[in-house]
Every structure is written in structure tokens, then in C-alpha cells.
Structure 1
Amino acid sequence: MSDHGRRIARNAAVVAGATLVSRILGFVRDIIVAFALGAGLFADAFFVAFRIPNLLRRLFGEGSLTMAFIPIYSRLMEEEGEEAAQAMARSAAAWLAVVLVGITLVVELLARPLTMAIAPGFLDNHEQFTVTVDLVRICFPYVVLICGVALCMGILNSRNHFLAPALAPVALNVSLIGAALFGYFAGYNVAYCMAYGVLIGGAAQWLLQQPFLGRTGFSWRGPWSWRNKGVARMGMLMLPTVFGAAVYQLNILLGTLLASFLPVGSVSYLYYADRLVQFPLGVFGIAISTAALPSLSRLAAKGEMAEYDEALSASLGLTLFISLPAAAGLIGLASPVIGLLFQRGAFTPEAVTATSNALVAYSVGLPFIALSRPLVAGFYALEDTRTPVKIAVLCLAANIGLGVLLMQFLAHVGLALAVSASSLLNFGLLYVLLCRKRGSSPLPVGAALRMLLLSALIGGGAFLSAGWRPWWVLLIPAWIGIYMFLSLVLGLKEARLFADMFRSRVRRKLAGRK
């Protein structure tokens, strides 16, 4: 594997490790919030109030802003030097501050009609509506802070630092946990404490980035301009990415809408199944695309397109190496995993079966969802943000059309299969168009077939062991070990890379103890 591939793998491992910590802490947060806040008037009010800045974060922050910023910043670094790139980043920060503070002031003034629009049912309960309006006003400035964090993430990733941005969500989780426990044990209103905890968490995430920015040589002090050409270019690239994020959110909304026409419980079956599929995607899929974008952007800016193709091929290979066995494992162990996690109380064996079927249908599309992320990063590195969005719109239509058709025969499982089918279409279109754009095929086909064969063997073994309660849980590390061993035997370079990284880390730890 090329040096670029090794760098992407190392950086992806850093992001994945930090994301895993954040996801586990997020699960702890959910448990503590359920304990302290419960499920009632104030809980509903907080979740609605926090949903607004969270939605804008997804539309304008971590995805769109970072994806548009990194290619421009990397190009300026290569073509005009360090000072020009830093001036562009400062200029972008100034524009972000003005625009987001302006939006925040408008929301503070119009919090009541905004709450009325997003939660009209709360109007029937004056206290609930009033509390929600208060919490919206408290939570919304989080948008300013988290978009600032997204800008810091773009700068640090462009400068080959990934740990601090990946750890940022940990600061928010810690803040919300602390706010919930403080409110509960001090006798204050937990919902209001958590709303202020959102702001504290946003500030903590931003402050966490600053020492690392300084260590990489970046400074907020220095020249900047309202008319910076790089910022203007970044704004033009952001428009399609924001639209693409909106399409993704619309996809989720319409899928839920279709499920609402099915028997009671269908929405929940899909929700719980999707949560499990999102775990490997969130930890590994996003990690690889996050690590790949800066490398691809730098290579494209330098005009080193052969190296760009190698780096993209390495990213796709790493994605397949992880996503294929993850999908096979989820398919093989769908029923016992769902049973272990959720079968208690009102979650019946029938619900386990229905959710497991949805998980299998979602898992079929997991590799295609994961592969699409580095391909999108490949387009963004070439400063082409329109093509992925056009494809996303087409796949949205395909998902809804297939969903309407398949739900007639397979109920909620049909909706999950529609997501997998549209994900395959998304991957196929992205891959074909990027191949045409580059004139080469970055997918390592031979390695992909070997990974598919090994994943099928592992998935089959996991399926056969599913009835061995509770031994199937203990066998999961064994299946992972067997997959790695057979991958090494078959000469997969991705396996050698992970093995070398593991050995290197062990050596460093042993050397440190001496």
C-alpha cells in the first residue's frame, strides 16, 4: 500500500478510536438523561429545542462547511503558501461569525413563531409551549459555537491533525451528563440545566481545538478580508453541500412518513435497526472519508493525480475491508444482537423478529453506504460538489419510489430494502462518474472479491453460532481474528497494514514501560 494509503489508515484509526469513545459516552449520556430528565413535558420541550440547532449543525456545520473548506484551504496552501491559507481561514471565521450571530438574533426575536412551526401540538399546553420557547432561546447560540468547531476541524484536518476534532463530541457529552446530574441532585430544573449544558459543551468543544491549532502553527491573529476570494469560492462550494445535507434529512423524514402508514411499531423497528447499522458507519465509514479528504485535496491541489488515484483506491479498499465483514456479522447475528440489546419489558419476541428482519435488509446496503463516503470526498477534493448532490436527489426519488412499491409486499422490511437499493444506486453512479472524470478505476476488484468471500464465510459461521446462547457473544472476537488471519493468508494489503499498525503500537507501549 502507498504512503498516502498508510497515512489515511493511521488518521482513520485515530478518528475511529475517538468516535468510538464518543459513541460509548453518548450511550451513557442517554442513560443518565433518561434517569434525570425522564419522559414528560420538560423532556419533550428540551428535545424539540435542541433539535433546531442540531439540524442546522448538520446542514451548515460539520459536513457542508468542512467539506467545502478543506479543498480550498489545501489548494491555497500549495499554490499561495501558508499566509494566504491562514488569511482565508480568518476571513471565513469573520463571515461565519457575522452570518450566524445575525441568524441567532433573528431566532431569539422569533422564537415563539419558530416553536409554533416545529411543534404546533405544544400550543394545546401553554406551559409546555412556553418552556420550549425558553429552551429554544437558550440552546440556539450553540449553532455559532459548533460551526466554529467545524471550521477548526477543517483547519486541523488540512494540517494533518485529526484527534482533537474527533474528540470534540466527547466534550458535549460530558457537559450534558454533568448538567443533567447537577440539575437532578441540586434540585434545579433539569431541562434548563441541560440547555445551558449545550452552550457549555459547545464552548468546550471550541476551546479544545485551540491549543492544537497553535501547535500546528495556525494563529487567529493576522491579515483577513471581507472580500477574500477563497471564502467566496468556499461559499459557492457550500451551496450544493448544504442542499445535499437537506436531501439526506428529507430522506429520513419521508422514510418515517411512509412507515407511519404501516402497522403500529414499524417506525420503531426501523429506528432500532438503523441505530445498529449506523454504529459501524459512524465509527469506521466516516473515519475513513474524514481522513481521506485532506489527503485527496492536497494531491489534487498539487496536480499529483496518479497519487490521488492511489489514495482513493486505498480509501475504498480500507472501507471494504471493514464494512463487508461488519455487514456479514450483522446479517448473521441480527436476531441474537437485537434480542440481547432490546428484548426486555415492552419489547416482545415479535418485536425482536421484526427489527431483526429490518436489520438484515439495512445491512445489505451497509458496504455501499460506506463506499459512497470516500467517493464523495473524491469529488469534493476535485472541487466538484454539484455531481454528488445531483446523484443524491436522483437516489432520493429512487428510495421513495422503491419504498412505496416494496412496502406493499414486505411492509417495513421493504422500506429498509429500498434504502439498501438506493445506496447501491448511489455508489454505482458516483463510481461510474468519478471513473469517467479521472479516466481510471480506483476500486481494487481482486481484493474486493477476496474480502467478499471471506466475509461470506465469517457471516455464515456467525449465523450457525447464533443459537449457541450465550457463546455467540464470546465468539465475536474469534470471528474477527479468523477474518484477519485468513486475510493475511490471502495477501490482502489492508490486513497487513492493520497488523503492522497493531505491532507498532504494541512495540511503542512496551518501549514506554521500559
Structure 2
Amino acid sequence: MDPEQPPEPRDEKRRPADATPAVADDDRAVAPKAGGLMRSGLVVSVMTMLSRVMGLLRDVVIATLFGAGDGADAFFVAFKIPNFLRRLFAEGAFNQAFVPVLSEYATRGSRREVKELLDAVAGSLTAVLALITALAMLAAPWLVWAFAPGFGRDPEKLALTADMLRLTFPYLLLISLTAFAGSTLNTWNRFAVPAFTPVLLNLSLIGAALLLTPMFDEPAMALAWGVLIAGGAQLAFQVPFLARLGLLPRPWPDFAHSGVRRILRLMAPALFGVSVSQINLLLDTVLASLLAAGSVSWLYYSDRLVELPLGVFGIAIGTVILPALSKRHAEQSGEHFAAMLDWAIRTVLLLGLPAALALSVLAEPLLISLFHYGAMTERDIAMAAMSLRAYAVGLVAFMLIKVLAPGFFARQDTATPVKVGIVAMVANMVFNLILIWPLAHAGLALATSLSAFLNAGLLGWLLRKQGVLVFQPGWGRYGVQLLGGCTVMGLGLAWLSPDWQAWLGWSVWTRAGWMAALVSAGAAVYFAWLAAFGIRLRHFRMKG
């Protein structure tokens, strides 16, 4: 189906076997046609790559103008609070609960039923988040103290962060409605628009940093305005695409609607189950605020680099697989369901293992190339590299969580992941207390990675135990092929890369040229090895 064309009504006398949801008339609805998961994943990956590259450019601008000082620390906390809640609610629990229910309505229900669900969910979501936003703006100083207690030692820093939070918190309402629109588009296999939308956040922050900074006594306040502007821009961008499909809701709160009640029931336990990694990152921020000045920023810059492959590969695969799994569950196609999960795990390992290794080997050169300008010092680079390597250890686990959790949520099972999430979160707290003393901020990052492995391991084990995840033949050979490719790539990068101290004296163009050459060489060596030992692109084709 052309992604820009509205869904076509089905023939009432004969329904195609592969039909999926789309709105046809008041009495019937046709489900969106199944597409190739690899193709859909590639679309999301390309758009996500654009967004992440723009995000790195945004961080280069912020690092250059603000470094790792008090203003930057204040903004990162003021942005992290609504951003954390966005990932927890909008892209976490809400998305995982809403998509399976919407897919079921679209597959089995009528156009009228789908529209009533969208109207009720949009209205209820707006009402709840508007109330939360108003209360949070009133309680801003207390929220800052709760999320970054170390700021309480500096009243001016605490007050600045609270002022920023009053501007950034409405972003939660706007971006949650954006996530609602994006989830609807994803269910109808329109993946490109939601995947492109985050680019607008990065453009807004870059514009605010460059254009609005001179207007404020505290320059970093411009970034808070940039967040607020971005929230409105992202929501406005998706509205025409919903309208084109005939799916633009008329928001009206209706908490008694059966679909809304089901979504709420699924959301409650999903808050921990799908977003435990975000809770772990939040705990890092709380503890980092008690460490040396700059610790929050060091963790932020290193986390940003890990987010690039996580978003381009892990989140992209998780995004396309959830609607596909939800559809297969509604159709009671257990064999295809299991094959999809196996495909997702293989794909994550194919891309995640070399990405984690490259981040570790090239930690300092990457940070220097992107952030060593203006106020960013050599010490900041060395400190951020420590936490980057610690986060890189858990990159594959972060990715696996993104593709394993949908195996539960597509079946509307939110109780099991919440139990796993609680175990992983408690383990993260224990790891934090053990590792923070010898390793400081890097210990917090390593604790997050270790708890992510525990989380992913338990999810995979339970899916296997339930008979939902069935590994397909050939895993032994596949593991050897990946291990060999990573070994050759890692040795090649270590041999080719100059000492990181040399990078400090290079111009931006010399750094960019060297980094491009190293990344290209590493990718070429890795995929050439895999091709030589029998891995082909056709092995990763999977029907949605």
C-alpha cells in the first residue's frame, strides 16, 4: 500500500486473508495491509537516523555554548523531568497499551467504533495530562528537589531549574498527544511521519540556542523556550496526516468507554515493565547530582551517543514489530508471532553488537569530534568517555528490551513485565550503591547496563517458558558468525585509530574526515566478514 494513500474499503463479499485496519465506512473497517518488517524498519531507521544526527548537532551547539556548567545542568534536569515522563507514559505505557487495543478495534470493529475509541482516548488523555501539567508547574521547586536533590545545596541553581521546568513541563502534554497521533499512524503502517517528527525538537532547540540566547540574562533559559515551541510544532505536524486518513479525533473525555478502561488497565502495570531503563537513568541523575559538578552533563553526553544506535536500530525494530505482533495475536497466528520475535532478536544482535563495540573503542574520538568545542574541556571528554564505555556495555540489552517487551504487550499481558521491571529496578539500586563509590558517575552508568541485562534476560526466559518465543534453527552458526565479525572489526578500529590525544589538536573537518573513514572501514570489515561466511540480506526478510 502506498504510504501516502488512504486505506481502501474492502469488498464486503470477500475479505483478503492479509487484510489489516483502515477506516472504510460507518459499519466496516479494513485493517492495514501487512508490509515487510525489514522495509518498515528501514524507513523508521532512516528517519530516526536523521533525528539522531540532528540531535547530536543540537548537543554540539549546546556543548559549545553552555559546556557542562550550572546553566547546562539546570536545563538538562528541567528537560529530563518531562522527557522522562514522556518516555514513561507517552512512548512507554500508553503506546504499549494503546496500539494492541487500537489494532483489535481496527481488525474486528467498524469505522464508527474506531472513531469513538480515538475520540475518547484523545479527550481522556488531554484532560489527565492538562491537570498533571498545571500541578507540576505549581510544584516546580519541589519536583526539582525530588529529581535532583543535590541542587538543594545551591538555591540559585534550584530556582533557575524550577523556572525552566515551568516552561518545559507543558511539553509532556503536547508530546503525549503527538505520541497518540504517532501510534495511530503506526497502526496504519504510516511509520515515516512519526519517525521524522523528533527532528522538529532538535531544530527548535538549535534555533533557540542560536537565536534566543542573547535575549535572556541566563542564556540557558532560551533552551527551555525551545522545548515548549517544539512540543507545539511536533503535534501540529502530525495533524494533517491523521486528517488525510479520516482518523483525526474530536477529543472528548470518556473514561467509561470500554476501550479507554482497557487501556488504563493495561497502562497501570506497564509503567514499570516497559520503561524500567528510563527509571534507571533517572536514578542516575538523582545520584549524579550529589557527585562532582558536571557529573549530570557527563552522563547526558555519553547517554546521547548510546541513544543513537539504540534509536536507529533497537527502537526502530520495536516500533514496527508491536503493531505486527498485535495483529498476529488478534489473528491467533502463534507460529508467525514466534518467528517475528526470533527475527527481531537476530536483527538486534546483528546491528547492536558492532555498535556497542565501536562506541567503546572510539569513545574519546567520538566525544571529541562532537563536543570538544567552546566550553567543553579535555577533562569533560575524559569523564564522559568513562560513562560512555559503561553504557556501551549494556547497549545490546537496552535494544533487546525494546523488542522483547512487545512480545508481552502485543498479547495484552502487562502483569509479567511489571514484575520483571521491579526486579531490575531494585537490582539497579543495589548496583548503584555498590559501584558509585569506586567508579563515581561511570559506576551509575555501569549499574544501568547490568540491570538492563537482568531485565532482558528475564523477559526472554519468560517468553521461552510461555512458549511464545521459539528460536528458529541456525543460532549456533549465527553466533559464531557475529562473534568473528565483531572481533575483526574491533581489532581493525583499534589499529587504525590514532591516539585520542591527537584528536584534540585537529580541526573540525579533520576530525570529521577521520571519523567517517573509521566508521566506514569498520562497517565494511564487519559486513564483508559476514558476507564471506554466508549471511545474506534475504535472511532477514520478514512479513509483517
Asked whether the two chains share a fold, i.e. TM above 0.5, the reply is yes
Shift of the 407–60 alpha-carbon distance from structure 1 to 2, 3 Å rule, reads closer
Shift of the 101–355 alpha-carbon distance from structure 1 to 2, 3 Å rule, reads closer
Q: How far apart, in 1, do the equivalents of 2:289 and 2:44 lie?
A: 36
Give the corresponding residue for 2:261: 232
1:486 aligns with one of 529, 534, 540: 529
1:33-432 to 2 correspondences below 5 Å? 33=62, 47-111=76-140, 114=143, 135-184=164-213, 194-221=223-250, 225-244=254-273, 247-255=276-284, 272-334=301-363, 336-338=365-367, 340-341=369-370, 347-348=377-378, 356=385, 358-405=387-434, 416-432=445-461
Shift of 1:74: 0.6
Shift of the 366–247 alpha-carbon distance from structure 1 to 2, 3 Å rule, reads closer
Shift of 1:136: 3.9
Shift of 1:434: 0.5
Q: How far apart, in 2, do the equivalents of 1:248 and 1:267 lie?
A: 17
Output the TM-score relative to the length of structure 2. 0.78
Give the corresponding residue for 2:494: 463
* Structure 1 stretch displaced more, 89-98 or 214-223: 214-223
Cα contact 1:321–1:451 (8 A) shared by 2: yes
Q: How far apart, in 2, do the equivalents of 1:184 and 1:408 lie?
A: 38
Cα contact 2:200–2:230 (8 A) shared by 1: yes
SS of 1:9 mapped into structure 2: helix
1:16-35 to 2 correspondences below 5 Å? 16-33=45-62
Cα contact 2:148–2:286 (8 A) shared by 1: no
Shift of the 401–135 alpha-carbon distance from structure 1 to 2, 3 Å rule, reads closer
Shift of 1:497: 5.2
Q: How far apart, in 2, do the equivalents of 1:405 and 1:255 lie?
A: 13
1:449 aligns with one of 469, 475, 480: 480
Q: How far apart, in 1, do the equivalents of 2:493 and 2:345 lie?
A: 25
Q: Which amino acid aligns with 1:479?
A: G
Shift of the 377–38 alpha-carbon distance from structure 1 to 2, 3 Å rule, reads same
Shift of the 229–312 alpha-carbon distance from structure 1 to 2, 3 Å rule, reads same
Q: Which amino acid aligns with 1:462?
A: L
CA distances 1:55-89 after superposition (whole Å, capped 9, x unpaired):
33222222221111001111111222443233212
Q: How far apart, in 2, do the equivalents of 1:452 and 1:392 lie?
A: 29
Cα contact 2:343–2:540 (8 A) shared by 1: no
CA distances 1:187-242 after superposition (whole Å, capped 9, x unpaired):
89766655444333212111111222233342325999542111111111111222
Cα contact 1:5–1:310 (8 A) shared by 2: no
Cα contact 2:213–2:221 (8 A) shared by 1: no
Shift of the 43–394 alpha-carbon distance from structure 1 to 2, 3 Å rule, reads closer
* Structure 1 stretch displaced more, 138-147 or 486-495: 486-495
Number of aligned residues: 496
Cα contact 1:91–1:224 (8 A) shared by 2: yes
Q: How far apart, in 1, do the equivalents of 2:69 and 2:117 lie?
A: 47
Shift of 1:44: 6.2
Shift of the 393–222 alpha-carbon distance from structure 1 to 2, 3 Å rule, reads closer
SS of 1:422 mapped into structure 2: helix
Shift of the 362–136 alpha-carbon distance from structure 1 to 2, 3 Å rule, reads closer
Structure with the higher fraction of residues in helix conformation: 1
Shift of the 361–184 alpha-carbon distance from structure 1 to 2, 3 Å rule, reads closer
Give the corresponding residue for 2:6: none
CA distances 1:110-138 after superposition (whole Å, capped 9, x unpaired):
55665676677878988877665554444
Shift of the 133–336 alpha-carbon distance from structure 1 to 2, 3 Å rule, reads closer
Q: Which amino acid aligns with 1:448?
A: G
Shift of 1:403: 4.6
Please say if 1:476 is aligned against 2:519. yes
Shift of 1:287: 0.9
Shift of 1:289: 0.6
* Structure 1 stretch displaced more, 258-267 or 12-21: 258-267
Stretches of structure 1 that go unaligned for 5 or more consecutive residues are: 501-514
CA distances 1:158-206 after superposition (whole Å, capped 9, x unpaired):
1111111111111222223333444346689766655444333212111
* Structure 1 stretch displaced more, 60-69 or 180-189: 180-189
Cα contact 1:488–1:496 (8 A) shared by 2: no
Cα contact 1:22–1:173 (8 A) shared by 2: yes
SS of 1:62 mapped into structure 2: helix
Q: Which amino acid aligns with 1:21?
A: L
Cα contact 1:319–1:370 (8 A) shared by 2: yes
* Structure 1 stretch displaced more, 484-493 or 127-136: 127-136
SS of 2:470 mapped into structure 1: coil
Shift of the 44–375 alpha-carbon distance from structure 1 to 2, 3 Å rule, reads closer
Q: Which amino acid aligns with 1:489?
A: A
SS of 2:36 mapped into structure 1: helix
C-alpha RMSD of the superposition: 3.9
Shift of the 171–411 alpha-carbon distance from structure 1 to 2, 3 Å rule, reads closer
Q: How far apart, in 2, do the equivalents of 1:40 and 1:360 lie?
A: 23
Q: Which amino acid aligns with 1:154?
A: S
Report % sequence identity. Answer: 39
Q: How far apart, in 1, do the equivalents of 2:538 and 2:221 lie?
A: 49
Shift of 1:100: 1.6
Cα contact 1:58–1:245 (8 A) shared by 2: no
Q: Which amino acid aligns with 1:491?
A: G
Shift of 1:333: 3.4
Q: How far apart, in 1, do the equivalents of 2:450 and 2:154 lie?
A: 43
Q: How far apart, in 1, do the equivalents of 2:295 and 2:220 lie?
A: 30
Q: Which amino acid aligns with 2:192?
A: L
Q: How far apart, in 1, do the equivalents of 2:290 and 2:159 lie?
A: 32
Cα contact 1:328–1:456 (8 A) shared by 2: no
